[in-house]
Amino acid sequence: MGISSSLIRYMPRRQTKTTLQHLFATALGTVCALSLTMSAVGQSSSGKEKISCSNDSGLKLPSGFCASVFADGIGHARHMVVAPSGVVYVNTWSGEYYGNDKTHEGGFLVALQDKTGTGKADVIERFGETIGSGGKGGTGIGMYKGWIYAEINDRIVRYVLRAGSIVPQNSSETIVSGLPLGGDHPMHPFLITGDGSMYVDVATATNACQPENRKPKVPGAQPCTELETRGGVWRYDANKTNQKFSPGERFATGIRNAEGFAIDSAGHIFITQHGRDQLYTNWRDLYKPTDEATQPAEEVMLLQSGGDYGWPECYYDAIQQKLVLAPEYGGDGGKRVGVCASKIAPVAAFPAHWGPNGMVHYDKKQFPARYRDGVFVAFHGSWNRAPYPQGGYNVVFQPLNGARASGGCEVFADGFAGAVKTPEGATYRPSGLAVGPDGSLYVSDDIRGRIYRIVYEGGSGGDIKGRPCPSASAPAGEILEAHAQPPEGTHEDAGRSVPVPQGATREMVALGERIYRGQVGGASCAGCHGANGAGSPLGPSLRSQKRLWSDGSLEGIRKVISDGVPKPKQYRGSMPPMGGAQLSGEQLSALAAYVWSLSHRTTSSAAGAAAAGISLSCTVSWPLSLMLNAWPSASCGFMKSGSS
């Protein structure tokens, strides 16, 4: 506590001495009181120093834990690493996964520092490549021997950190370049071990190594030449600069997408596995509709030199708990094993399509001891469980005993998504994890760029376990119905009638909506394109009137749905015929009528609508671009691997 100089300056001279004595006594008393108060606040019931936590995150945690917002709005935050000084370094990304939205100013790498001990980052500095220099950001980031290592475009680079600065002052050095880009999984997370070995995820370009990606009933390539340069983990030397990507450095193969890495004190390296998509969509004669939501399992695997984990020939059946042959390679819906008998099974399995994006082994002492024998996994959240409820959007704890699971996983942190667990409706989506030197756990969100900090405050009598995860073999749940709405609707067009195209009826439009929502015909369009038409990480906004593949007529839309878009003009994936669904002629016409009607809701002309006299009660607005933009598809159009 200090005494204001302005107070002294304007005090009458005769009062100065007396007043100063009074102020000094008051200040001394205040300091003593504050000292006692801080001593009480700074100690937990166990006598350990209590870490500041504002508990402003809205997350649901086990008893004794507290989560605060460490930083916000820093960009599409992916993976993180925490320096011994406590500075948090974050890699951020941009591009198609985020609707090509406007990128933040400054570099893609972010340094976050809490200088005041409040549990908030009060220093935020950016560095590295920018949009102006040709950068697009990345996912992977790490530290080794005082250097910051980061993925940027097709390279992994490093920056030296000088004393007295939390950001580099010099340009980067390239460690490895030429990493494959494009396709469904263009990111390159990595892990650097104590000896300088750098393990890099080079994920697959396709869903199942089909010559025509994500097409119904298309057999897989024989052989799958994609495995020469994708679908595995590569190893490089973090001490060497200017290495070039080549097949020769492949460490393990048959891995579709290993976004999460963790290493324990014994040197075991664990990786996550994003399971494949679209078993039912592309192979309806072999699978049930519910299999789309429940198969295959997500995985945590033990990384082994020369290991083959089965992709694309195999997937891990969540119910049978074994690797089985994929339909593109002679599988029969889960019975046949074939070559999968010789592949490496996972250490732990999780519900399908949850999207394990980040992982970290907990090795500090702040959390209770039971957390030092396992890994935390950040699940980005599913898209491919529609029309059934989506899952994930949480952080779980998986207990381990050495290189094996010692029990089922527990939901450790939940509430990121908010009220709606869908890609387009989620408020936040967990993406990366890191542990600070004080034992705090950091979680990144790649939608709005929020960084959470989770600490353990202790307490007596509380259960420190999270709730059990749903079993990997849990049923899909009920098909989600549209929420009941007042007859006039609640959207911005409430009260307006929705037009019906010439030659169609309002009954056709109503049927088209049910098809779109997955209630008829086995389609799952709403899961791909969102419930409000504003777009999502899986696809662009559908409110646009931009036309790429049709003249906008009902027949034109019907033809695009029927034929699909094998070679899209703007997006890297294709839309299969019927969007991957098996629709009758009547259903096809109804879906086309629904798309047409929604694409005309925003026009100024209401003549057709008034004539039809139809007012839908849903909150969806789906313009013509539903069948025109051609995002990689599963059911009704443009999908890509959105769990990443």
**Residue 21 clears pLDDT 60, i.e. is over it:** no
Q: Which two tokens stand for residue 498?
A: 């929705």
Distance, CA of 392 to CA of 353 (rounded, Å): 8
Distance, CA of 421 to CA of 426 (rounded, Å): 5
DSSP per-residue codes, 156-179: EEEEEPPTT-SS-SS--EEEEE--
CA dihedral (191, 197, 203, 208) in degrees, to 10, reads -120
Task: Decide: 78 and 138 in contact? Cβ < 8 Å.
Answer: yes
**Residue 39 clears pLDDT 60, i.e. is over it:** no
Task: Check residues 255 and 515 and name the one with the higher pLDDT.
Answer: 255
Distance, CA of 314 to CA of 193 (rounded, Å): 29
Report residue 400 CA to chain centroid gap. 24
Look at residue 510 in the predicted model and tell me its pLDDT.
84
What is the overall mean pLDDT for the chain?
82
Q: Enter the DSSP assignment of 471.
A: P
Q: Which two tokens stand for residue 603?
A: 């026009």
**Residue 607 clears pLDDT 60, i.e. is over it:** no
**Residue 244 clears pLDDT 60, i.e. is over it:** yes
User: For residue 574, what pLDDT band results from cuts at 50, 70 and 90?
Assistant: low
Task: Check residues 119 and 98 and name the one with the higher pLDDT.
Answer: 119
**Residue 624 clears pLDDT 60, i.e. is over it:** no
Look at residue 300 in the predicted model and tell me its pLDDT.
98
Task: Check residues 97 and 235 and name the one with the higher pLDDT.
Answer: 235
**Residue 598 clears pLDDT 80, i.e. is over it:** no
**Residue 632 clears pLDDT 60, i.e. is over it:** no
User: For residue 550, what pLDDT band results from cuts at 50, 70 and 90?
Assistant: confident
Three-state DSSP class for residue 262: strand
The shares of helix, strand and coil residues in the chain, as percent rounded to the nearest 5, are 20, 25, 60
Distance, CA of 426 to CA of 430 (rounded, Å): 10
Distance, CA of 125 to CA of 161 (rounded, Å): 13
Residue 40 backbone dihedrals phi, psi, to 5 degrees: -70, -45
Contacts of 133 (CB under 8 A, 6+ apart): none
Distance, CA of 160 to CA of 173 (rounded, Å): 9
Look at residue 19 in the predicted model and tell me its pLDDT.
40
**Residue 546 clears pLDDT 80, i.e. is over it:** no
Highest-scoring range by mean pLDDT, 159-163, 322-326, 544-548: 322-326
- When mean pLDDT is compared across 226-230, 273-277, 419-423, the lowest value belongs to 419-423
**Residue 202 clears pLDDT 50, i.e. is over it:** yes
User: For residue 591, what pLDDT band results from cuts at 50, 70 and 90?
Assistant: confident
Find out if CATH 1.10.760.10 is the number for domain 506-627. yes
Distance, CA of 426 to CA of 417 (rounded, Å): 4
Q: Of 208, 201, 196, give the one whose Cα is nearest residue 138.
A: 201
Considering the chain, what percentage of its residues have pLDDT values greater than 90? 61
Query: What are 454-505's pLDDT values in tens digits?
Result: 999 986 444 578 899 999 999 999 987 544 333 333 344 444 467 898 888 9
Domain boundaries, the chain: 5-41, 65-468, 506-627
Model confidence, pTM? 0.81
Omega before 387 cis (within 30°)?
yes
Three-state DSSP class for residue 27: helix
User: For residue 445, what pLDDT band results from cuts at 50, 70 and 90?
Assistant: very high
Q: Which two tokens stand for residue 153?
A: 């475009």
Look at residue 424 in the predicted model and tell me its pLDDT.
85
Q: Which CATH class is domain 65-468?
A: mainly beta
Distance, CA of 348 to CA of 355 (rounded, Å): 14
**Residue 26 clears pLDDT 50, i.e. is over it:** no
Domains 65-468 and 506-627 share a fold: no
Query: What are 184-199's pLDDT values in tens digits?
Result: 999 999 999 999 999 9
Contacts of 297 (CB under 8 A, 6+ apart): 275, 316, 317, 318, 346, 349, 350, 351, 352, 472
Look at residue 545 in the predicted model and tell me its pLDDT.
63
Classify burial at 628, counting beta carbons within 10 Å of its beta carbon; exposed 0-12, middle 13-18, buried 19 or more.
buried
